[in-house]
A = this chain, B = another copy of it.
Amino acid sequence: MLQSKLFSKTTKNLPEGEETKNAQLLIKGGFINKSSAGVYSLLPLGLRVLDKINHIIREEMNAIGGEELLMPTLVQRRYWEQSKRWDTDVVYKTGASKKQGELEYGLGWTHEEVIAAIAVNFLQSYKDLPKAVYQIQTKFRAEARAQGGLLRGREFLMKDLYSFHTDTEDLNRYYNQVIGAYKKIFKRLGLRALATEAGGGAFTKEYTHEFQVLNPAGEDSIYYCQKCDFSQNQEIYDVNRHKGCDGKVVSGRAIEVGNVFKLGTRFSEAFNLSYADSSGKKHLIVMGSYGIGPTRVMGTIVEEYNDSAGIIWPEAVAPCRIHLMSLGDSPKTKKESDRLYKLLSGRFGSDEVLYDERAAAPGEKLKDADLLGMPWRLVISEKTVAVKKIEIKNRASSQSKLLSEKQVIAVLDGK
């Protein structure tokens, strides 16, 4: 990618009311654009990050037998009424009720109702179970406060997985499998997410689990052990649950990046979703639901990986792995940079190499590179050309090195 051709640019202008690091850095870097409070556009470099996050989530969902589908945003009022959730505060409602015969909708903020109604068509026998389906879809919530950048949007992306089982035992088995998949996902995304016990609200008396990333930008407070896996949301914190460990339990602010939920039969009852066992006897299907917010994950990654100069993208989700800089206006430098761009594009894919060939001052270009935060910065200048080397620097490190082309390739190959 040629930087001079990019639609977006870095900017110093910040819209009002953006207090969080993730919003500030993502807007300054041209990754996102604020449309209104809690509503953002993903600009090309930002969409690349989101796509990489989604790709990792998809791989792990498919690995535990999840089939991807896509449900609607316009969810007709009758669905919500059937589950008694039409009057939930966060639902955006639409449909021009003025006109005769027009339908009313709640914009999908979660899809237990829709998926239960769909499943009735396909899940009828114990032989059809278990099943798991998921979608990655834009969701809507009428949040009163929407000030956390990508951490709390009125419109945001959600991966929601739903599972269907013959009984609680099979749900428990799959629930633990999903927890395993979530741990893999967050690890691949560079996030240390604590599986934190939380309350089940109206759904269940059992604990549910939230995946919480300790970070001062978080809205949740959790209590967690510094030694073992114990972690509980402050709302249900019970010191007696921490047993058989002498580690210290401390509290901290955290960002909830995912959750897993045993729904039981609440929705299968509302939508008459049942199966026949081998003797033909009918039972309600037992359900689970499991969420991850990819846009919130993106914001969390920025909150976790930044310094005073900008973002420090982990390699797995960086818009581009390599930022190639041509500094100065010597024709020799330009020629050598062009050659290297071609070589790197061939080897790593042109999408993974952002080439700064702009006619801008070296200081401005290096400042932009720090703000944009690609993992590997390669500099070609008169100085490097003279010694037939390339300057390479990892964004997370303060040291640059002068290496030969062969050595640089080896570093980028991960050797």
Interface, chain A (partner B; CB < 8 A): 5-9, 11, 13, 30, 33, 35-37, 39-44, 46-47, 50, 65, 67-76, 79, 92-96, 102-103, 105, 107, 114, 117-118, 121-122, 131, 133, 138, 140, 142, 154-155
Contact = CB atoms under 8 A, between A and B. Distances in A.
A41 B7 CA distance: 33
Contacts of A70: 41-42, 47, 50
Given A9-B122, A30-B122, A121-B13, A74 B155 contact: yes
B94 A69 contact: no
A329 to B, nearest CB: 16
A76 B36 contact: yes
Nearest to A96: B142
Main secondary structure of the interface of A (DSSP, over half): mixed
Copies in the complex: 2
A9 B120 CA distance: 11
Nearest to A132: B7
A291 to B, nearest CB: 18
A162 B358 CA distance: 24
B122 A76 contact: no
Given A70-B42, A138-B138, A96 B94 contact: no
Contact of A74 (B36, B105, B114, B133): B36
B103 A67 contact: no
B74 A39 contact: yes
A118 B44 contact: no
A142 B73 contact: no
Nearest to A137: B138
Contacts of A44: 67-69, 133
